[in-house]
Structures are given as C-alpha cells and as structure tokens.
Structure 1
C-alpha cells in the first residue's frame, strides 16, 4: 500500500516543527541556568568563647613511696608478700638466711665473754695492788708519827741537857726522812689509781666496742627479715625473686605505695598544652567511675609530642584504685576572652597556615584565601589571621573545588 504524497509531506513538516520547539525550549532553559548564580553553602566567622574538652590518658601514681631494700646479704628463704598485697608497717615481706652472719655472731659472743672475764681479772689485780699500796701509806704514816714523837722527846731531853745536840739532829733527820717517805708512798698511791683508771677506761672501751659489734651483728640478723617500712600496697617486687636466690646488700627489691597519696599522671597532646592551666578542672575515669580533680603541675617539656600533667583528686577514689592503674581524662577548657571562631572545615586538622575558599560578596566569585589557625576543636577552629566576621567561607576543601559557580 502506498502513502499518498501529500500526507507524507505533511508528517515530515510536523516532526520538523516539534524538533524546533524542543531545541528552543532547551536553549531557553540553558540561558536561565546560566544567568542564575549557583547557590553555595557558606559560613561566617563569629566571636565567641573557646570551649572544648582536652582528652588525656595516663595512670594513677603515688606521691608517697617507700623502697623495699635488702640491708644485708642473704639467701631468700621465704617470700610472704606479692605485688598488690596490702601491708602494715612492720609486716614481714621476705625472709633471708645468712650462715656466715650466724657464725660471726657466735664468734663475737665468745669474744665478748672473754673481754668480760679479762675485765674481772684486771679488777681483782687492781684491788690487790691498791690495797698493797694503801698499806704502805699507812705504814709510812705510822713511821712518821713515831719519828715525830721521838723528836718531841729529844727536844725535851735536850732542853734538860740530857741528850746531846747530835742525838737531837739525828731525831730531826729521822722525822724528815719519815715525812718524805710518806709523801713518796702517797704519790705512788695516786699514780697507781691514775694508772688503774686508765686501764679500766681502756678495758671498758674494748668491752663497749665488742658489745656494739655484737649489737650490729644482731641487728643485721634481724634485718634478714625484710619488713614493710610503711602502711600501703606493694606496687613493685622484682619478678626474678625466688627461694634460694642470693640477694646483695642495698639491693632494691620493690616498692610500697600509700594509696591515700595517689594522683593522676596524665599525658596531653603538645598542640593542646596551651589550653591548660593550674587548678583547671579535670574529669578522670577510673574503671568506669568518674572522679573530679584539679591540675597541680604542668611539665614545661615535650616528650613524644605530649606534655606531662599531674592532677590531684578532690574526691575520694574508688576502693579498687591502685598504683599504675590506667585512666582516661577530660580536661574542660573555656577561654577568658572571646575569640574569632569558624565552623571547622573537614580538611583543616592542624594549627598554623591553612587555605580556605572565600566567596566575594559583590562578584559572588570564590577564591582561595590563606588563614592562620590557632586552636582546633571538634566543631570549631580559632582564626588568628586571614578572616573577618562578615567573610563568607566555603567549607569545601580547596583541592576538591572545580571552580564552577
């Protein structure tokens, strides 16, 4: 069947007209889209207080510690306490043995007994010599008394011319001789007493030395029992301790901590250290429980990109708190003055020079702008330079911006 020529030409005209209409409509729509600017979401900086939470991590540490030291050489016989055990002052922790020390004590006891025997013997000898010399003094006094009596008698007889002057002179010489002899015997007695006193002092010194030496050895024997020097919890004990191990004097065996002196030793990222100050409030989480505290010390040194912070507690710690227990903390910060803040773009993660996109209010064009960022929080950043309050900032990463409007 053939289509008439007039009908075929009419259909072609209709199709051509429809095509022209579609092209015209597309052109109009395209012109409208070109003349209408693309709407871009922007944010503007504003002045407000910096409020943020600085995260920290660390552990509980005691301010009061007592070292457990071996004060004498010895071999471990028994271990009575282990890390984590609570102790009172004087509790036995480790017991040592030292056979050599025991022998030294027995030898010193024998030496002391010998010194005591020698002392008693010396006292007896001194008493004997002293009595002998005192007897000599008494005899000399008696001789002097007799010679004085004879001299007085000779004087009376001489006055009566019964004896000669020669006999009188002889009596005077005998009296002087007796007097001199008495003085010599008294001097000898005094010298003997002085010598005996010096001997006694020397023996007493030796006796004291021997007694003191025995006391020291007995104390060393007592020190074989290593006891707790204070009340607390054993936080450290050498892992290699076992029965039969030889321990040298002054070896540190472990540590005892006072639970009442626990504080939080935290580490904070160095980039956030400028937000910290003394007496700043801290919320510390200990095994699921929250305890309040205040910053007591901030270290001026940076180690592994972190700063050390000490926090004292203002609340009673949970009963299960022990030294070296890991903790986390949130340090709350609010600035004293208002700062220029901007909603945090996703691509800004460090302080210092960064780049953002700023939309020109008049031309509506977007261009890159360098800014200086200070503090960086979870939701806002601090603008130090490069932006003003009325600037419109596009939060898109400049590296992903295609330049279209």
Structure 2
C-alpha cells in the first residue's frame, strides 16, 4: 500500500544563500572607496625603486668602454731569409732600441758575401796592375818629350849660330848646311809637339781608365755592402724602445723576407680607444674632456678623433691622454670612460627611470598621498646623463617617482602601493 509523502517547502532565502557574500563584498568595496581612491592595480612596495627630483647643476655625460692602445707601435720584420737560431726575448720584456731580439742563420748568404769579397780583392789587384803599367808608359812618354825638347833646343841653337855667321858674311856655313839646320829645327819642333800631344792623350786615357775601374770597384763594393747589410740583418734588433707585445717566430723556424718577428709598443705613450653607442655620437665633438677609469685610478684625456663609420651600432672614439700614466696602465687594458658633454645650471633632474628616452614626453608614476599611491604623470624629459635625466616640465623639486620597471601596469593611471 502506497504511503503519501508530505512535501516540506524550504524558505526562499535559503535557496539564494550565495547572494549574501556577494552583497557583503560589494558593500565593503563601496564603503572603502575613499581609501582605495581610483586605484586599479596593487603593487608591493618592496618591488619598487623610487627617486626624488633634485635641482642644481646637471652634468651631461656619455658613458663608454674600450681599451688602452699604444700610440706608437711597430712590427719588426725580417729583412732576410734564414732559420731561427736564438729567440732572446719574450712578450712583456722591456727592450731598448738596437737590442737583439732574434738571431737568424743563413750559410748561403755568408758564402755569397765571401764570394763578393774575393771578387773585390781581385778587381782591385787587376786595376792596380793596369794602372801601374799605364803610369809606366806615361813616364816613358814624358821622358821622350823631355828628350825631344832638348833636341829641339840644340838644333835651334845651331840654327841661330849659323844665322848669325851668315849675317856677318862668314862663308864657313854653306847654304845647304843652313837649309839642313832649318829643316832639322822644324822636324825637332814637330816631334816635340807630337810627343806632348801623345803624353796629354795618355794622361786622359789614364784618368778615364781610373774612373772606369773605380766605377767597377764601387759597384762591387756596393754589392759587398748590401751583402754585409743582409748578413747584419740576420741579427734582428728592436727599432724602438718599448715593451714586446708579441713574438711571432719560434726556435728552428724558417723565416722569409718580410715575415713579422715581434710587435713592440711604447707603454709610455698610450691612448684610449672607446666604443660609443651610435645614438649618442651626435653629442661627441673633438676636444671634449674625458675621464678614463682603469678600475684602480683615473686618467684625464680629451677626444682626439671620431670614426666616421658605424660598426655594429658603435662608433670608435679615440682619446688623447693628457695626464701622467698610472703604473697600472698598459696596452689592451679594459677601461670605462665618462665623456663630459655639457653642464646645465639650475635645472631639475632625477635618477633615470627605466624606458625613459631623452628629449621625449613620457608617463612616469609620481607618488601621492604620503606614498600610498602612484599616479601616472606626463613628464617632458630633456638631456640625459649616465644615470640621470633632466626634467623640463611635469615634476617639481622633491617629487618622488618610480624609476624601476613599470611595464606591467602601464595601462593603469593610478596604482596602490602596499
């Protein structure tokens, strides 16, 4: 038999119990709307980095990094071919100009020098013998000239005597003998003059021969001098005072003409080679003051050259060092640098926020209501330095802004800090 069940009706409010918590939450939000203001995002204070706006002289600097480079650097090259017998220096060694670095050997070059030496000696001996023979011939010719002069003078004396006798009417001298005397005088005069000309030509020949022989000797001596210079070049020496940076040859290695032997740099004459971002290079001009930081000391310099080309987003800037170099300064030392662009008097500035380019207007979060909130404020930025930026408008002295990363809440005008 069926038993009729009685239906028990629940109160309507119990069916919609979940509405009560929702209403309570809404009421609480409405009640504390003044506390939360219009904040739509919450940030923990420990995650924020803030900075206050200051006023004063703002130094515009550009930071760069680079290396110290030697202003005077020279590769020492091999002038002759040879095999390395000795390597007398290592990288880091202090050397003086003319100091022996590497000794080469080349037996063939030594034999060639000896051959030229013997050729020079033989030519000098042959030239000496030829000159002695020609000088002897010249001496004989000069003796003949003297004898011819004597014969001419004797014939002329006889002719003069006969002429005087004939003039006096003395018949002891026949006309035939007188004519013969005249003919003899003419013959002796011509012979004497001929011998003089012959002697003159012999002297000219002797001088020309001496010149030609001396030219040949000079040629051989030049060859010998060149060979000697090549032999001397087997001893490779430092061409300047400095520190050895690199030695390219090893013991027993064969060196060819023009091969690099050693790299020598003058450590007392250095300059800084800096890499400046291309976006800041328009601020750099020649002569600007630069402070070089070697990690242990600072060196003052000035911009001496700006590379016209951009490589990998960087521009090379050379800095002439005007201070005395510290003891830790050496070639290839990594350094940091601050290039002083300008000083702006009595302006507002603040530590540079993240993602705040110079010469732009951007939204920065300024702390309000005793630092409980931060409200987005449009700020016009000016020049920037290494870690500071100029404020042209939008903030006042003493305002505190968030300088850490705010990209997570950029769409919110106001945030609450707890």
Q: TM-score, normalised by structure 1?
A: 0.78
Matched, 1:179 2:189: yes
Contact 2:377 2:394 survives alignment (8 Å): no
CA offset at residue 255 of structure 1?
Answer: 1.9
Counterpart in the other structure of 1:232: 242
Q: How is 1:189-204 mapped onto 2 (pairs within 5 angstroms)?
A: 189-204=199-214
Q: How is 1:139-158 mapped onto 2 (pairs within 5 angstroms)?
A: 139-158=147-166
Residues 393 and 91 of structure 1: is their aligned pair in 2 closer, same or farther, counting only changes over 3 Å?
closer
Matched, 1:306 2:314: yes
CA offset at residue 114 of structure 1?
Answer: 0.7
d(CA) in 1 for partners of 2:224, 2:279? 63
Contact 2:84 2:252 survives alignment (8 Å): yes
Contact 1:368 1:398 survives alignment (8 Å): no
Deviations 1:301-334 (A, max 9, x none): 3322223233344444343432222223344565
Residues 133 and 328 of structure 1: is their aligned pair in 2 closer, same or farther, counting only changes over 3 Å?
same
Counterpart in the other structure of 1:292: 299
CA offset at residue 193 of structure 1?
Answer: 0.8
d(CA) in 2 for partners of 1:358, 1:245? 69
Residues 95 and 148 of structure 1: is their aligned pair in 2 closer, same or farther, counting only changes over 3 Å?
same
Counterpart in the other structure of 1:222: 232
CA offset at residue 155 of structure 1?
Answer: 1.7
CA offset at residue 125 of structure 1?
Answer: 0.5
Counterpart in the other structure of 2:16: none
SS in 2 for 1:303: coil
Where structure 2 has 5 or more consecutive residues not aligned to the other structure, the ranges are 1-19, 367-374
Where structure 1 has 5 or more consecutive residues not aligned to the other structure, the ranges are 1-19, 360-365
Counterpart in the other structure of 1:375: 384
d(CA) in 1 for partners of 2:174, 2:389? 138
Residues 139 and 24 of structure 1: is their aligned pair in 2 closer, same or farther, counting only changes over 3 Å?
closer
Q: How is 1:242-253 mapped onto 2 (pairs within 5 angstroms)?
A: 242-253=250-261
d(CA) in 2 for partners of 1:352, 1:326? 31
d(CA) in 2 for partners of 1:36, 1:188? 133
CA offset at residue 402 of structure 1?
Answer: 3.6
Contact 1:233 1:257 survives alignment (8 Å): yes
CA offset at residue 58 of structure 1?
Answer: 1.8
CA offset at residue 389 of structure 1?
Answer: 5.4
Counterpart in the other structure of 1:356: 363
d(CA) in 1 for partners of 2:88, 2:78? 15
Residues 109 and 298 of structure 1: is their aligned pair in 2 closer, same or farther, counting only changes over 3 Å?
closer
CA offset at residue 168 of structure 1?
Answer: 1.8
